[in-house]
Amino acid sequence: MNHAYPHLLAPLALGPVQLRNRIMMGSMHTGLEEARGGLRGLAAFYAERARGGVALIVTGGIGISEEGALAVGARLMCRPADVAPHREVTDAVHAEGGRIALQLIHAGRYAYNPRQVAPSAIQAPINPFTPRALSSAEVDRTADDFANAAALAREAGYDGVEIMGSEGYLLNQFLAPRTNRRDDEWGGDAERRMRLPVEVVRRVRAAVGEDCIVIYRQSMLDLVQDGSTGEEIIALARQVEAAGASLINTGIGWHEARVPTIATLVPRGAFAWATARVKAAVGLPVIVSNRINDPALAEALLAAGEADMVSMARPLLADADFARKAAAGTPAAIDTCIACNQACLDHTFSGKMTSCLVNPRACHELELTYPPTTAPRRLAVVGGGPAGLACAHVAALRGHAVTLFEAQPRLGGQFVMAARIPGKAEYAETIRYFEHELARLQVDVRLGQRATAAKLAGFDHVVLATGVVPRTPALPGVDHPSVLSYQQVLGEGVEVGGRVALIGGGGIGVDTAHFLADAPAHEAQAEAAFCADWGVSRDLQVRGGLTTPQPSPGARQIWLCQRSAGKVGRYLGKTTAWAHRALLAKRGVQILTEVQYEGVDDAGLHLRVGETPRLLPVDHIVLCAGQESEQSLRAPLEAAGVAVTVIGGAERAAELDAKRAIDQACRLAATL
């Protein structure tokens, strides 16, 4: 028995099937499912996770019919010819000692398909198409389609199937009065709304036999108006158990919900209570999910009896070896998912291949590799921000002798400031990971040392990852004592008064507004504060688990300004920008767009909004006006004949973000 995580690493018997621990890789559509050239990339992606010790993997959702697929052209499992390509995936996972289940999905009104179908003809707010209501006979046939797909999945070598019943997809749509207005045998009252999901479980079990894992992914909390009540959710779980499921997995929130469910501003494990109340009502094992990215938290949830297994998807994108490192008792070696969504869900929802901000190899396993070097070199990396850290790490992994210079007394660069933003504490985990890895790989880290061309002269290659310096706009009065840079506020902790104007509504402006608007909450109250901010209710009778939000007021009076039209933070990720803006509104932050700045004096910030002059009578003005590249070492090094490569913000400050910086750093280090 593992002493650090005895519950998490205990095996689990599901009838005749034995799982080696309680860690499941949850379903996530990667884009590899539809890759030209077949499923080789998907097989490599999952095999790496199985090799990393995860017990059970659930694939991304595979459509059980053409109309039920997530989008036109998505991969299906409904005809005999669909089976063969999957064998490469199942064989690869089995060769690594893992188990894998195929997720069966019917997207209903979420299908990106003009021929979409649903319980009733009600358009989803996140889809341009309006569905056609299924006839009674078609509903019955849909249950058969699930069973047919499950039988085909077995033929393809899958150890089980997961029936997708959450997140607002078809089966969820049948359950909720929001989307099911039928009055036939498939709707009308709670019992009849439950009929299709239960029938699907029954027919799937009959189709696959007893030695197959059948997971039902159930919405534990819909977070939409007219969703299911807690009582209905518990009643469904009991019926799903009676119909023959082996496991119940957790889904939280429909895709159209306006409550964040997995973004970094959601406290860790914030929704585990919703799973725990279902677990208390059923006898079969239950899987907990959402914002669990750390083995200690997973262990605590299992030890408290709140669930029997833990599902993690993004944490296994970030680190394929999560389970193996937990079992080895080295959690500090885990590259922790920081819940940013930037390279995973933001990519998925913009039709790009999924990857991971902290691990660019995710979903690129065949193409981005870090083989040991045959010609070790003396490499200097200048700058200990995300780009420099990632480059030093991969270069050292490959066997180069690396020296890292960082002018500040600690590593992390922009991530040090990011970790101070409310709801972004996870960014500190990336710094912790790199500190651990650089020490393990014996990188010579020189903190508090500004590199000079003279110090760098003896290296075979120098990588400049010196980052950015904040831009100071040409504005009358910009040198007034009330004007601060965001670095002074976030990095140096300079005190800020009760009335503040922020110049610049990009990512840093939005972050700084959060920092200044939030009253520091005690960690123990984070979950309660989150529920109050977003109106999440634990009342079993409340539909959708939603009540009136009671957000905490802003700690300051804040104006967030930009010159351009459109929304602030519009270049932030698709899946998170809306939540940031909503939270700023809850804190009373005033947004001013299309402004022209006129100057700063003792009275405050003078500007024009359109033709109207305004004075913002503020104590401080914080500049969040973007960045300029810092690459002053480049010219002297090149003049001295030293081989130099410039990466990250030092190379290009415009649209700089950590995703591009880390990706560029890893790809460079892979070739050095």
Instruction: Decide: 60 and 93 in contact? Cβ < 8 Å.
Output: no
Nearer to ligand SF4, 116 or 342 (CB): 342
Q: Which stretch binds ligand SF4 (CB under 6 A): 33-41, 59-67, 227-235, 311-319?
A: 311-319
The span from the CA of 39 to the CA of 366, in Å, is: 12
The span from the CA of 249 to the CA of 313, in Å, is: 13
* Residue 418 C-beta: closest distance to ligand NAP, Å: 7
Q: Which stretch binds ligand NAP (CB under 6 A): 61-69, 77-85, 97-105, 568-576?
A: 568-576
Residue 508 near ligand NAP by CB under 6 A: yes
The mark string for 318-337 relative to ligand SF4 (x by CB under 6 A, - otherwise) is x------------------x
For ligand SF4, which residue of 102, 111, 317, 558 counts as binding (CB under 6 A)?
Answer: 317
Residue 277: strand, helix, or coil: helix
Amino acid identity for residue 147 in this structure? A
**597 a catalytic residue:** no
What are the structure tokens assigned to 629, written together?
């590249």
Residues 6+ apart with CB under 8 A from 59: 27, 33, 42, 46, 89, 100, 101, 102, 103
For ligand SF4, which residue of 44, 340, 397, 402 counts as binding (CB under 6 A)?
Answer: 340
Tell which positions 627-656 bind ligand NAP, by CB under 6 A. Answer: 627, 655-656
Residue 18: strand, helix, or coil: strand
Q: Point out the residue whose Cβ comes nearest to ligand NAP.
A: 506
Nearer to ligand SF4, 186 or 433 (CB): 433
Instruction: Decide: 76 and 63 in contact? Cβ < 8 Å.
Output: yes
For ligand NAP, which residue of 420, 563, 652, 667 counts as binding (CB under 6 A)?
Answer: 563
> Please, is 505 exposed, middle or buried when counting C-beta atoms within 10 Å of its C-beta (0-12, 13-18, 19+)?
buried
- What, of ligand NAP, ligand SF4, none, does residue 337 touch, CB below 5 to 8 Å by kind? ligand SF4
Residue 358 near ligand SF4 by CB under 6 A: yes
Residue 342 near ligand SF4 by CB under 6 A: yes
Tell which positions 634-653 bind ligand SF4, by CB under 6 A. Answer: none
The span from the CA of 214 to the CA of 662, in Å, is: 39
Tell which positions 467-486 bind ligand NAP, by CB under 6 A. Answer: 471, 473
- What, of ligand SF4, ligand NAP, none, does residue 571 touch, CB below 5 to 8 Å by kind? ligand NAP
The span from the CA of 507 to the CA of 152, in Å, is: 46
For ligand NAP, which residue of 104, 438, 624, 672 counts as binding (CB under 6 A)?
Answer: 624
Nearer to ligand SF4, 266 or 445 (CB): 266
Angle at 394 between CA 631 and CA 453, to 5 degrees: 30
Residue 309 near ligand NAP by CB under 6 A: no
> Please, is 250 exposed, middle or buried when counting C-beta atoms within 10 Å of its C-beta (0-12, 13-18, 19+)?
buried
- What, of ligand SF4, ligand NAP, none, does residue 505 touch, CB below 5 to 8 Å by kind? ligand NAP
Residue 176 near ligand NAP by CB under 6 A: no
The span from the CA of 462 to the CA of 388, in Å, is: 11
Angle at 36 between CA 33 and CA 37, to 5 degrees: 100
* Residue 509 C-beta: closest distance to ligand NAP, Å: 5
For ligand SF4, which residue of 99, 217, 314, 581 counts as binding (CB under 6 A)?
Answer: 314
DSSP classification of residue 575: T
Residue burial 569-600, b: 16+ Cβ < 10 Å; e: rest? beebbebbbbbbbbbbebbebebbeebebbeb
Angle at 174 between CA 281 and CA 139, to 5 degrees: 120
* Residue 358 C-beta: closest distance to ligand SF4, Å: 5
Residue 237 near ligand SF4 by CB under 6 A: no
- What, of ligand NAP, ligand SF4, none, does residue 657 touch, CB below 5 to 8 Å by kind? ligand NAP
* Residue 110 C-beta: closest distance to ligand SF4, Å: 21
Nearer to ligand NAP, 238 or 567 (CB): 567
Active-site residue, from 169, 427, 486, 597: 169
The span from the CA of 43 to the CA of 634, in Å, is: 42
User: Which residues are tagged catalytic?
Assistant: 169
Q: Which residues bind ligand NAP (CB under 6 A)?
A: 342, 471, 473, 503-509, 511, 562-564, 571-573, 624-627, 655-657
